[in-house]
Structures are given as structure tokens and as C-alpha cells.
Structure 1
């Protein structure tokens, strides 16, 4: 794959596939890659024909994190308001699936945990080894990871910099599915197809509630949820879904 295109984007059957395309650098993120990912995320959320996205890496590896060679020259792979890799501080509104082969390390792990769902190869490795380079996992490893796995496990990963394997990742709830090596993208596409078959408005608002509800109090959670999801129940898609069920046919979603 060409190094001239740090990010490759394909859209097929309502699914966008974003490929981190710096295989010779283990798909390490530089500024150009961050800009390419940010542009893809903008297209994902603005194009009604795209329902789900997958982010993956070229050459049988996911992402080795920040491009350290670029870092020592003063280049930072962050964008204002978006953070590392062009999206970790501002994930898309639509579902995003990580398809992981090989290594998801440092910023690569932080890209992965910014996604909604994760499909990994059975030989994949995960870690936030920033401390081994005198750095800190400041793109989500220290603040997002402890909310996704047991805090003591996240603490050990952050302080030791050691890796975990796919089995351990599944045991602590870090990933959704483990598939044979070489088939992570295929597995992610199968998961994406299942999501695409569902009502797009219902999917998007369901993601929003889960993403935002972590700090809601018991007193406010029902009102906050209902404020977001009530439009689903008065939507054209809700009527279509019920009608299609009664008529024993596939729904024709409009996303409204």
C-alpha cells in the first residue's frame, strides 16, 4: 500500500472501512494520518448512506501508537477539539468498530478503546507502554481504559507498560469478539452488517445514551434518557419497523 495515502477509505453497503496505511511504520500515527482519520469521521457522520464504520490497520497490524520519529521533530498527531489520531476526544455519533490484527499499543490501544465495539485476532497484543519511553498514555489510556476494564488491571497496564493477549483482553471485557488471525476485518464486517440491518435512528440514539449515561445520577437518568430516545418512538422508522414485522418483510429504513 502506498505511503502517500496514510489513510484509505472505502464505503460498501453502508459500511465505511478506514484503513491506517503506514505499514512500514507499524501504522504509527503522524499528523497527516490524524487529518485523514478526522476527514473520514466527518464524512461518516454527515453522510446518511453510511451507517457504521470500521477502523483497521494495514499489513497485519493495527497501530503502534504515536510516530515517535515525528514526535522528536516537534510534530504532534493531535487536532484541536479532536485529540490524538483526529478523533479520540470526539468520537463519531455513528457506531465505530475496531478490527485489530497484530499490535494495538500506546496510542493504538487508545484508538481502539475510543471505538464502540472491538473485534480482534486471536494473536493480537494490547498495551499502553508509554512509561517505558518516559511518556504517559494521555489519549485515553489513563482516563478511558479504567472505565472499560477493572481499574486495577488498567493501573497495572499503565504502570508496568506490559502487554496483555487477546484471551486476557476478552476476560477483562476489553474486546467483543476474538477471531482467527487474519480475519479481524471480516469479523468486523459481519458485526457491522448486523448493525446496518437495524433502524439507523434507533442505533445512533442508543449509542448516545450509553456513551453519555456514565455520570448520570439515579435521580436524573430516566429524564435524560427519555429526552434523547423519545424521538425514536414517534419516528417513521418505528412505524416501518412494526409494519415490516407484521408483514414478515425486511424494513425499509429512512433514518427519521
Structure 2
């Protein structure tokens, strides 16, 4: 894996760091492939329950590396999309920890996450129309599902920057931290989530993500196919036993 994408794991929480601070963590092909490889590995690891995505040097990501784009370096991975993530996020819960700018593709990466923790100084935007481009990495599809229609239109059509406080008001940002503390805030939330059973977490995310399009008459059958195996897992038995014995559960992911 390139040193432009760093991965660390501690206590059930993995952190993927985009490490191109000199380029405001703009996404090139190397970074996209690095994120895709990290997601593939972390989704398979039983010692990882939650993933945090962040950027080095006080910026989340300014989006696509336009210099690379001009030279034909596309920051897209087949089957996973922009940044190796937007078309196929991990199966495990994914938290964005955002300092500085989350613009264009950077904002689209954040929109592909399940939870967003942002510094009070963070700025978001989809400025693609200002560059003759379109936010085609999920931004203009996901945004109207996260905020009201007219607000989504304003953000997408003006291309302007918006403060974390405004997106918090709209419910797109979960928590705001003091400047420089977004990663700490995300890790605190990640640890709280990682204390829960990993199979239950993955199943819960899958149902929330997929159920929006389920027909009413099929929704419980579709949910059952996902959650019933969890009820028959060793972790489910461990959870019940730990409750009865008044102790902390020891999850195996089985």
C-alpha cells in the first residue's frame, strides 16, 4: 500500500488516513487504489468493527486531483468508484472525521460514510459546476437523500462552501468538535460503536442502507434474511450470557 494512504488499527477501530497534505489530500489514482485495498482488508478482519476515514494535515480532502485528471490519472477503482469508496463503501460502519475542507469528491467521500464528525472550522461544498464538471461520485444522488430538496439544489448548483454548523443544523453532520479535534471525536464515537457485537453492527448497517427501496410487502422477509443469522450466532449467545452473568461480553464475530 502507498504511503499516501495510511492504515492503523486499535481496539476494534481502524483509521484510514489520506496522506497527501501537500495537495490538500486531493484524490489521485494511487490514493483511490489504496483506499479500496484498505477497505477490502478491513472488511475481512475480525479484529475490526468500525472504520474511520480522515485526512492528514488539517484537511479532509479537496476532491479529485485536477492536475492528475488533466494527465489522465483517474481516481476511480472499477467496482468501487471514486476514491475507491463511493460506489461500494465498506460493509462495516464508516465514520468521516473532517477537518478543513471536504470539497467536491472530498464531500462525496463524506456522503458515502455512515456518520460524520466535523471540526467547527470544516467547510463542505460541491464546486464541480464552477470547473465545468458534475458531482458524479454520488454527491448529487446522495445529497437529496440527506438534506431537504431545495437545500440540496442550492448546495449542488451554487458550488459554494458551507460551514459545518449549517450541515449540522440540517442533520448531515452528527457532531461538531473544536478545531483540531474531529479525529478524537470520531474515535470516541467509533469506540462506543465497536463495543457492540460486530455481526450485529454489519447487519444493522446493511438493513438501514438497503431497506429504503424495499417494497412494503417484502420488507420483513428481506430484513429476516439479513438479521436471522445474527440471532443464531455465537455472539448472540455470548451477549445473552454476559447480560445474565453481569459481565462485559467478549465478541468473536461468529
- TM-score class, shorter-chain normalisation, is over 0.9
Paired position in structure 2 for 1:142: 140
Paired position in structure 2 for 1:245: 243
* Structure 1 residue 106, shift from structure 2 partner: 0.2
* Structure 1 residue 209, shift from structure 2 partner: 0.3
- 1:1-256 map, 5 Å: 5-256=3-254
Rounded to whole Å, the distance in 1 between the matches of 2:235 and 2:78 is: 36
Rounded to whole Å, the distance in 2 between the matches of 1:242 and 1:80 is: 42
What secondary structure sits across from 1:131 in the alignment?
helix
The answer to whether the 8 A contact 2:46-2:252 is kept is no
* Structure 1 residue 186, shift from structure 2 partner: 0.4
- CA distances 1:46-88 after superposition (whole Å, capped 9, x unpaired): 1111111111001101000000001111111001111000111
Rounded to whole Å, the distance in 2 between the matches of 1:186 and 1:159 is: 33
- CA distances 1:159-206 after superposition (whole Å, capped 9, x unpaired): 110111111101111111111110000011101101111011111100
TM-score by length of 1: 0.97
Rounded to whole Å, the distance in 2 between the matches of 1:233 and 1:79 is: 35
Rounded to whole Å, the distance in 2 between the matches of 1:202 and 1:141 is: 28
Deviates more, 1:213-222 or 1:183-192: 213-222
The answer to whether the 8 A contact 2:104-2:135 is kept is yes
TM-score by length of 2: 0.98
What secondary structure sits across from 1:142 in the alignment?
helix
Following TM superposition, the consecutive aligned residue runs of length 4 or more in structure 1 with deviations greater than 6 angstroms are none
Rounded to whole Å, the distance in 1 between the matches of 2:57 and 2:218 is: 47
* Structure 1 residue 44, shift from structure 2 partner: 0.8
- CA distances 1:199-222 after superposition (whole Å, capped 9, x unpaired): 111111000000111111211111
Any unmatched runs of 5+ in structure 2?
none
- Residue-pair matches, total: 253
* Structure 1 residue 238, shift from structure 2 partner: 1.2
Any unmatched runs of 5+ in structure 1?
none
What secondary structure sits across from 1:143 in the alignment?
helix
Rounded to whole Å, the distance in 1 between the matches of 2:145 and 2:129 is: 20
